[in-house]
Amino acid sequence: MDSSVVISTFNGIAFVEEQLNSIRKQTVAPREVIIADDCSTDGTFEFIKEYIEINKLDTWNVSRNKRNIGWKKNFWQLIKKAKYEYIFLADQDDIWSLNKIEALLASAEKYPQGELFYSNFKSFENFEEINTLEKVKLKNTSQVVCDVNFTTLPAPGCTFLIKRSLYTESSKYWDSDFPHDFSLWVTAMLRETVYHNENVLHYWRMHKSSAYYTVPYKKMSNLVKFRDNANKIFIKRRNVAHMRIAFLEKWQSINDRNTKVQDSLIFEKKRILYLENKKICMYIRSIFNYREFYSSFDSMLADFYIILFSGGAQ
């Protein structure tokens, strides 16, 4: 089975070599590796170009964007450029298990109806914490059921193997404000074509310059800091809710009515109302009617925290 690997880079000189090494040493090599550098200023593009030349990687290619377009659009353009049916998504600073490509392609071969395959992952900060030099013993792959939490990703997009047909379908709904992995995940969930490989095939590096880095929780020393943190969480959650609504409304305008989509839209709109207006009674009623729409108990408590301590929509 032929596959492409696409990598979006931006100022990743500190860690990109470890990611490139883990892809180059795969037990099953991809047919192509396409890298688009988004106008790095730290020498990332030049390093990758030299890396390809030194290792004589004839099927690898790196290009530099004429202007910085952001990681969301950069990834979407990369997927479009990929030549092969199966496409692996790769960040610039993670590390792959030695047989990640082999394992996920085996899942895709076993379930040809699937369009998105993802694996388990472990987060890390230092390379010494992990060992990718051994092949992972393969475990089960199973279909993921589309439940009410279908807009919540259980793993980052860098764990994904997608089929070109999924990109084609998801392009109908994608917008440059939407993360590529969110658009692909929700589309695949609604098409019931998501499969989970239970192996840990991916090591996700956490550092402050990462697009998904979350600041570790620290005890607030005063009420001002406590409220400031609540405001930051509020803005992030409100933006995510608006993104989900925009995507689902676009999906609904093209496809037949779907109860899960309709229910999810109702929940997200109510959620924005009680978060923005700090309506504790509306929040409590929502818990009784939409408890299952929260992906976790912590997520539900976080909304309560926002209502109590954030400034709301001021």
pTM of structure: 0.90
- Region 248-258: what's the mean pLDDT? 93
Express each pLDDT in 163-191 by its tens digit. Answer: 999 999 999 999 999 999 999 999 999 99
- Range list of β-strands (E), the chain: 3-9, 32-37, 60-64, 86-90, 95-96, 116-124, 141-143, 160-163, 194-205
Whether the CB-CB separation of 30 and 63 falls below 8 Å is answered with: no
């106008």: which residue's tokens?
39
Express each pLDDT in 102-148 by its tens digit. Answer: 999 999 999 999 999 999 999 887 665 565 555 656 668 999 999 99
Tell me the residue type at 91: D
- Region 30-36: what's the mean pLDDT? 98
**Over pLDDT 70: what percentage of the chain?**
88
Whether the CB-CB separation of 171 and 88 falls below 8 Å is answered with: no
Express each pLDDT in 209-225 by its tens digit. Answer: 554 444 443 443 454 55
